[in-house]
């Protein structure tokens, strides 16, 4: 009796998994309206660790085609773009850029970005300590209005 219940439950789960494949996610990348323009070493780190959720240049992984995981991926990308989108950086005014840089310092500094579950599946996104420090230095320079990082961030301070 239990064997029949388990077998039926398994068949139902397989059926639901197959039906879930009908619900497809939108994997389009909107046009890039203006990149952050970071120096090459910083841009390389941003592309490897951040752009798959925080840009309009997402490289959709193979599992973005498999529901229900695809739904989670789509949600993460949508939330990431809403929070910070490096492909729309030029649309942010100076005040918003400062806010985004402060948040970057907090989250990268606290090892919250990239999220552990993303880095687990994408080893290239794991930040080495020197890469983490490079991002932090770049963001801090942008906040202070000094150096090339500030210019790349598009922030000019008039103190």
Cα distance between residue 101 and residue 43, in whole Å: 14
How high is the pLDDT of residue 94?
A: 92
Q: Which residue has the tokens 């402060």?
A: 102
Element (H, E) at 159: none
Token pair for 11 = 């068949």
Can you name the residues that pair with 108 across neighbouring β-strands? none
pLDDT value, residue 23: 61
Confidence (pLDDT) at 157: 43
Walking along the chain (159 residues) 10 residues at a time, the average pLDDT comes out as 79 64 76 91 96 96 89 93 95 94 97 93 94 97 72 48
Spell out the domain ranges in the chain: 2-153
- Distance CA(1)–CA(106), nearest Å, equals 56
Output DSSP code: residue 155. -
What is the secondary structure of 15-59 as a DSSP string? HHHHHHTTS------PPP-B-----HHHHHHHHHHTTTTSSS---
Q: Would you state the pLDDT for residue 134?
A: 97
- The Cα 11–Cα 6 span in angstroms is 9
Alpha helices (runs of H) in the chain, residue ranges in sequence order: 2-20, 40-49, 69-83, 94-109, 116-121, 129-144, 147-153
């Amino acid at each position: 009796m239990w064997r029949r219940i388990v077998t039926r439950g398994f068949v139902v789960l397989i059926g639901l998994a197959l039906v879930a494949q009908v619900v497809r996610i939108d994997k389009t990348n909107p046009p890039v309206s203006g990149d952050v323009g970071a120096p090459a070493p910083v841009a390389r780190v941003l592309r490897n660790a951040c752009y798959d959720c925080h840009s309009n240049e997402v490289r959709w992984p193979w599992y973005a085609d498999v529901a229900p995981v695809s739904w989670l991926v789509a949600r993460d990308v949508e939330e990431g773009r809403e929070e910070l989108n490096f492909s729309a950086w030029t649309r942010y005014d100076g005040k918003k850029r400062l806010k985004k840089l402060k948040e970057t310092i907090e989250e990268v500094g606290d090892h919250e970005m990239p999220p552990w579950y993303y880095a687990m599946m994408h080893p290239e996104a794991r930040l080495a300590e020197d890469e983490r420090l490079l991002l932090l230095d770049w963001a801090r320079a942008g906040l202070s209005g000094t150096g090339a990082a500030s210019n790349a961030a598009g922030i000019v301070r008039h103190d």
